[in-house]
Amino acid sequence: MSGLLFLIPIALGLGLLGLAMFFWAMRDGQFDDLDGAAQRILIDDEDDDQ
Amino acid sequence: MTAPFRQQDLEETVRVDTRLTVPGMRCAGCIAKIERGLAEIEGIDAARVNFSAKRVAVRHSPGLDQGDLVEALRHLGFEAQALADNPLGTDDKESKALLRALAVAGFGMMNIMLLSVSVWSGAGGVTRDLFHWLSAIIALPVVAYSGRPFFASAWMALRYGRTNMDVPISIGVLLATGLSVYETIEGEGHAYFDSAVMLLFFLLAGRALDATMRTKTRAGIGALLSKMGKSARVLGHDGTTAQVDAADLQPGMVMIVASGNALAADGVVEKGRGSLDNSMLTGESDPERVAEGSVVHAGAIALSGPLEVRVTAASSDTVLAEIARLMDEAGQSRSRYTRIADRASSLYAPAVHSLALLAFIGWMVAGAGWYQSLVIAIAVLIITCPCAMGLAVPAAQVVTSGALIKRGLLVKDGSALERLAEIDIAIFDKTGTLTLGEPQADVSSLPEVERQVALALARTSRHPLSRSLSDALQHEGTRPAEVDDIVEVEGQGLAGTWQGVPVSLGRPVEETTGMSSLLRIGCEETMIAFADGLRADAGETLAKLAEQGISSRILSGDRKGPVEAVAQALDVEATAEAKPQDKLAMLESLRSQGLKVLMIGDGINDGPALAAAHASIAPGSASDVSQQAADAVFTGKALMPVALAVAHARRCMAIVRQNFGLAVVYNICAVPLALAGVVTPLIAAIAMSGSSLIVVGNSLRLARIRE
């Protein structure tokens, strides 16, 4: 029982942390262009330097 | 104290953001090409592509304007249009708010469910009470935050004496939460926090899907009157000129229109000759020649000039504004369309409410006491709550529109798919819709020397025929000849010298049928013919529509001759020389015959018809106005997406009906259990998520596209 007193707040805290991170990511525009992100990994960045 | 700085410093540091829509980008290669190609141009700092919305945000110095950027993108091989000031702003906000509410509901659902599972598996006494208290602490703020979209909508409906799907949802969630709080305080056995929050989560998922679809595909719709000239150079009495905003123009003023300018008002040419590109207004791709006394309209673009135009009608009196007004009125009739989800809920909500009330009264009569009767009534409300119903429509529509985007068709919102599925006659505009809308030069029989000279001349002009000719020749790999002293004589064409011989490219002396240019090298003359060719798959598309029981017709503002030629080639009925009002009248007469019309058109003159038709589609090359009025926009040169759109919309609606069927079957199974009073929170939770998952799974079948 006394274990729960620690574990439950920790679990909730982690959940809230995840929620906060999601909010931050959304405000930062991480979800604005999901299709673009999938395409961009195919672009060869090396070409830029030549 | 102000720091001193020079004007030049200011220009170096000031940067402007412009957003353009580029419907033609398809792959990673396009992203790289656009971003790198633009970044190399002098004055552009950075370009960032948003692939989902088919947009490019460009950061550049104020020296460049939208036209320069569009031209730069054209050189990279992409059609682009400037986007008006963030027309997507409000939608964006809505879907973001829904996503935030969804995230909060998801967080609450997971944590409450963890606690609930412990209670179900036998936690008792103090531990159970503690868990219930913890659930309450999590659930109350979550319900307050995530429930707002439903509460607000339900409140609106109730205030006007109507009900919608949100009313039973709100009542269910609020009653369940209230009862659970009561039970927690009293230390009783049951709390329904998990059901309430899970219900919110699944319903918000449906709402968020719906909103995502709308924001994703509404990109590229510019402001209505952006094609009209925003200002004009006006000649004063004393011979000086001044720049005047379009809104301040008065009849009687004289505008000076240079080539490349868009007209800001209707008027009559007083001085000068030239040609106008009227295609946005009439759909006619052949440039119109104007001289003293010609009537010209706002929105037309001067290809050569300068012209002096006396204003006859300005701002809200122009023909363009009149079309905008017609469109506005025509659009009213369509906004009355009730979406299938609303129709379903108008049947569903009263049924659920009466059922819950009957359960309450029934158990009271049976002598169960008010507390237990209320618990059972709430169980009925919750278990019948339209979780699966809320997902049935958006899930299917999101999957369908995603599949259609891959085929080159952007559907603007879900109700468009519903309306597309119902149509039974298709009306096509000719120019730019059945045809490509731009003159195609026939260069196949041109000898090599002529090609090289023609290219050298044509590439120096902005005239549509020259543009088309140089595109066609460059496409065939022709290299331009060395032609010197090229001059463009307005109304006549281009002239220059090649190896000491005078060469010219211009309008043929005698009037011929169709468009053509005359190329002279010395005294040798060659005719180059232009034709506005049919889209390659136009016939196939009409056949496919006929296969689905949809007849087709042509309704065009063009002259009789060309329209009849196309009608004959495609073997369909045709009406020519129709004004926007005539098009509306025709739609109205078809509607009175009980037909649901699909309108496909591209010009500003099609705008009112597009807005009035039951459903409408515009090509990606269409004017902003038409794209805004249409339900869907197809990109690329193929017409087939039109036929595909109808086929997919019908499949989508079949799946939506199945989804509703599944939801009804689920209710038939679950409601008797709830009425009998044997629904535990566990059963409610399993039943609810099960039905939602089945609906989503069924909708995903739409992703597999059959041709």
Q: For B279-291, what is each residue's pLDDT tens digit?
A: 666 656 667 777 7
Task: Note the pLDDT of residue B91.
Answer: 54
Task: Note the pLDDT of residue B660.
Answer: 85
| Residue B294 burial (CB count, 10 A) | 16
For chain A, the straight-line distance linking the first and the last C-alpha, in angstroms and rounded, comes to 64
Residue B25: exposed, middle, or buried by beta-carbon count in 10 A (0-12, 13-18, 19+)?
Answer: buried
| Average of per-residue pLDDT values in chain B | 79
- Model pLDDT for residues B472-481, shown as the tens digit of each residue: 787 777 777 8
Q: Which residues of B touch A (CB under 8 A)?
A: 27-29, 31-32, 36, 49-53, 96, 99-100, 103-104, 107, 110-111, 114, 127, 130, 134, 138
A47 has pLDDT over 80: no
Task: Note the pLDDT of residue B219.
Answer: 45
Maximum CA extent, chain A:
64
d(CA B601, CA B429): 5
What residue in B sits closest to A31 (Cα-Cα)?
B96
Contacts of B540 (CB under 8 A, 6+ apart): B640
Q: Tell me the whole-structure pTM to 2 decimals.
A: 0.70
Residue A45: exposed, middle, or buried by beta-carbon count in 10 A (0-12, 13-18, 19+)?
Answer: exposed
- Model pLDDT for residues B205-221, shown as the tens digit of each residue: 888 887 777 665 554 33
Tell me which chain B residues have a C-beta less than 8 angstroms from the C-beta of A48. Answer: 36
Task: Note the pLDDT of residue B242.
Answer: 76
Contacts of B557 (CB under 8 A, 6+ apart): B282, B283, B284, B429, B577, B578, B579, B580, B583, B603, B605, B606
Token pair listed for B613: 């038709």
- Model pLDDT for residues B642-655, shown as the tens digit of each residue: 888 899 999 999 99
3-state secondary structure of B618: strand
Identify any residues that bridge with B16 across adjacent strands, giving them in sequence order. Answer: B60
Interface touch B107/A43, C-beta < 8 Å? no
Task: Note the pLDDT of residue B279.
Answer: 66
What stretches in chain B show pLDDT beneath 70? 1-13, 23-24, 53, 81-92, 214-231, 279-286, 305, 328, 330-338, 385-387, 462, 490-492, 508-515, 623-625, 680-682, 684-685, 705-707
For chain B, the straight-line distance linking the first and the last C-alpha, in angstroms and rounded, comes to 70
What residue in A sits closest to B212 (Cα-Cα)?
A32
d(CA B385, CA B378): 10
Interface touch B134/A8, C-beta < 8 Å? yes
SS3 content of chain B, % helix, strand, coil (to 5): 50, 20, 30
Task: Note the pLDDT of residue B387.
Answer: 67
How far apart are the CA of B273 and the nearest CA of chain A, in angstroms? 48
Interface touch B31/A36, C-beta < 8 Å? yes
Alpha helices (H) along B160-219 = 166-186, 193-217
Task: Note the pLDDT of residue B103.
Answer: 93
| Average of per-residue pLDDT values in chain A | 80
Task: Note the pLDDT of residue B224.
Answer: 38
Optimal mutation site among B26, B111, B116, B204, interface A, most CBs of chain A within 10 A? B111
d(CA B16, CA B45): 10
Query: Phi, psi (5° rounding) for residue B17?
Result: -105, 130
Token pair listed for B218: 């509404």
The residues of B assigned a catalytic role are: 429
